[in-house]
Amino acid sequence: MRHKPSLLRANPILFSPLYLNAENISTEKLLALYRSADFFSPQLVSGLVKTILDMEKHGERLSVDCSPEERRKLIREMKGMSMDIQYTLRDKAETMMEISIHIVPSEVLERAQQGKIDVTQYQKLNDDLDKLIVKLIVKEVRRRFTSKVMGYFQSFLRSSQVPPFITQLLDMGWFNLKGQLLKEASIDDLLTGKYSEQFEHLMPKELLQEGMQIRETIKTCFAIGQDNADSLIQDAKKRHALLEIIIRETKTQ
């Protein structure tokens, strides 16, 4: 059973455990998954954050209207109560993504007494959740591909004639005798880098195609979802060029 931390016990971004079922994410569904999180449900993350913060806001009002004794009584009475919010994204009957939030109202009320969350914190919480979704997609997708590559490595190791390329990677400490990829292994090196030729020769075409799609997904997720320095500079240049024209046009009138 997955652990569901309470809103109060954990770091704010941890109160929303996200679960991605890698087995049910095929590469052709990756874009759908990312876009649905980002665009199809544009209010999902902020909606969830808002629900939680609204509870605290109401808790605050409740606290202000109560005497300290009544407040303590209310918190005592609420002990043991909890609320679960579940967001599930399915592909037919298979669950692709799940966000579970477990809230303990008495703890929310206690937290509300400590002070109001400001807009900056709200914004940060929102951004953190966005980034968390991107990171989890990347992590799960990478894990899925890695496990497939491992499967092939294992089958090579079991064969009577181990291909020299595999022996070389084994000697370099890229993977162990169980076929498990080690820390030094770089998927990029295998797919597009210095070992791509040998990798392409040994691995089935479908795996390579899947690997490339995954690599592109990861790049895109990072480019869109993360504060990547290069893409930020690219965006800045685009915006700068546009504003330059607008300012020039405004001045010439």
Between CA 32 and CA 92 the distance in angstroms is 13
Residue 226 found at the interface with another protein (CB under 8 A): no
Q: At what angle do helices 119-158 and 205-225 cross, to 10 degrees?
A: 160
Q: Is 220 in the site for another protein (CB under 8 A)?
A: yes
Which residues fall within 8 angstroms of residue 17, CB to CB, at 6 or more apart? 2, 3, 4, 5, 99, 100
Closest contact distance (angstroms) between CB of 86 and another protein is 23
Q: What x-and-dash track marks residues 117-146 binding another protein by CB under 8 A? A: ------x-----------------------
Task: Decide if residue 162 touches another protein (CB under 8 A).
Answer: no
Which of 40/186 has CB closer to another protein? 40
Cα–Cα distance between 203 and 168 in angstroms, integer?
16
Q: Output the smallest distance, CB 22 to another protein, in A.
A: 18
Residue found by looking up tokens 């009584």 in the block: 73
Please give the Cα distance from 110 to 11 (Å, whole number). 16
**Interacting positions 24-53 with another protein (CB under 8 A):** 30-31, 35, 39-40, 42-43, 46
| Ramachandran sector of residue 104 (left: φ over 0; alpha: ψ -120 to 50; beta: rest) | beta
- 172 forms part of the interface with another protein (CB under 8 A): no
Which residues of the chain form contacts with another protein (CB under 8 A)?
Answer: 30-31, 35, 39-40, 42-43, 46, 123, 213, 216-217, 219-220, 223-224, 227, 229, 231-247, 249-250, 253
